[in-house]
Amino acid sequence: MILVTGGAGYIGSHTAISLVELGHSIIIADDFSNSKPETVEVVQKITGKSVATHRIDVTDRDALERIFQNHQLEGVIHFAGYKAVGESVIDPIKYYKNNIISTLNIADLCVKYNVLKFVFSSSATVYGDNASPLTENMMLLPTTNPYGETKAMCERILHDISIANPQMQISLLRYFNPVGAHESGLIGENPNGIPNNLMPYITQVASGTLKKLSIFGNDYPTIDGTGVRDFIHVEDLAKGHVAALEHLSEGVHIHNLGTGKGTSVLQLVKAFEKVNQIEIPYEIVERRPGDLAKCYADVSKAERELGWKAEKTIEDMCRDAWNFEKNLKSKM
Ligand code: UD1
């Protein structure tokens, strides 16, 4: 049995589906602070299996411990966490408290109950401004915000826990830019308020919810001056988690989950327009503070060690993101 914290969230729910489809039994723990219980219903509908769900905040150690007491857990995939970069600058205490305490609680209970497998949701943001392509052995550099720092700190905490508890099997997965949605169109990214990230912004411009996209800078040293990112389809990312879980062994194992390909903001906009036959009005504005010119992965380690590789294209990502947004709109 695998405990999936944050299993109703964007990446968590897609991973829950992959896990169930590949024969794992799972329990979801989620406080639904940034997700909805209905998403778990969709996970059950897609997989045809029922999934036990506990509404708890994983910073509540007692509530979490009850799950460890009542279930024979084999491992944990820990997604639950706050992830809004801008909010983390305004309220760093909220971010440090939530993201660090949840990770400590889970690791502590894993050690106490001899649950050896721990997969952690990290981010490419921990590379700071190292030059792309980014490789897992690079030294971590400061990030530009508390959210990024919580990811780097949790990685360091898990390293120390591994040294003290060499039986633990820990996977740190550094995500690049997850986008897209489940091919059914039933689950995807549905941020509260105005989106911070590029793809949800584009889909909301496409649906008419937002008027036009602001592109943050076109004077970067990139192919067309706009920022370059490694966009990865969320279904590929989900499969990467299952591969990481299934290949775990003692110690800490770090893998980039990306495609290894850089795509510029403008290239993504053009691909979206072409695939979906919708015009996305945009204007070029000032650079956003803290943004990097380029961020893309070297994915050879994940390919070699996990036998996993992202398969979906930018076109798939654009089509599925729009398909989900249209579905969402039709329900409103
Ligand atoms: C951001 C976070 C990163 C986090 C990730 C989670 C920052 C600096 N980084 O990554 O820590 O792990 O989200 O998904 O916030 N863009 C526009 N217009 C928009 C939105 C974005 O031009 O309205 C551009 C950005 O300048 C960037 C690219 O699109 O070049 C991607 O931006 P975004 O989707 O926010 O992701 P990151 O900044 O790469």
Whether the pLDDT of residue 134 is over 90: the answer is yes
The CATH class given to the 2-179+232-260+299-311 domain equals alpha beta
- Banded model confidence at residue 299, pLDDT cuts 50, 70, 90: very high
What is the residue extent of each domain of the chain?
A: 2-179+232-260+299-311, 198-227+262-295+315-330
* Cβ of 215 below 6 Å from ligand 1: yes
Is there a contact between 231 and 317 (Cβ–Cβ < 8 Å)? yes
- Banded model confidence at residue 320, pLDDT cuts 50, 70, 90: very high
At residue 55, the pLDDT reads 98
List pLDDT tens digits, range 51-89. 999 999 999 999 999 999 999 999 999 999 999 999 999
For residue 144, give the ligand 1 atom closest to its CA: 8
For residue 143, give the ligand 1 atom closest to its CA: 11
Question: What number is the average pLDDT over the span 40-50?
Answer: 97
What percent of the chain stands above pLDDT 90? 96
Question: What number is the average pLDDT over the span 306-326?
Answer: 98
List pLDDT tens digits, range 176-213. 999 999 999 999 998 888 998 999 999 999 999 999 99
Whether the pLDDT of residue 332 is over 80: the answer is no
For residue 147, give the ligand 1 atom closest to its CA: 11
Q: How far is the CA of 198 from the centre of ligand 1 (A)?
A: 6
Q: How far is the CA of 37 from the centre of ligand 1 (A)?
A: 27
Question: Which of 291, 317, 318 gets mutated to test ligand 1 (max ligand atoms within 8 A of its CB)?
Answer: 291
**Topology (CATH) of 198-227+262-295+315-330:** UDP-galactose 4-epimerase; domain 1 (3.90.25)
List pLDDT tens digits, range 15-29. 999 999 999 999 999
At residue 32, the pLDDT reads 96
Which pTM was predicted? Answer: 0.97
At residue 5, the pLDDT reads 98
List pLDDT tens digits, range 80-119. 999 999 999 999 999 999 999 999 999 999 999 999 999 9
Residue nearest to atom 31 of ligand 1 (CA): 198
Residue 177, C-beta contacts closer than 8 angstroms, at least 6 positions apart: 124, 197, 198, 199, 229, 230, 231, 232, 258, 295
At residue 82, the pLDDT reads 96
Whether the pLDDT of residue 227 is over 80: the answer is yes
List pLDDT tens digits, range 255-264. 999 999 999 9
Spot the catalytic one: 10, 127, 147, 201: 147
Average pLDDT, the chain: 97
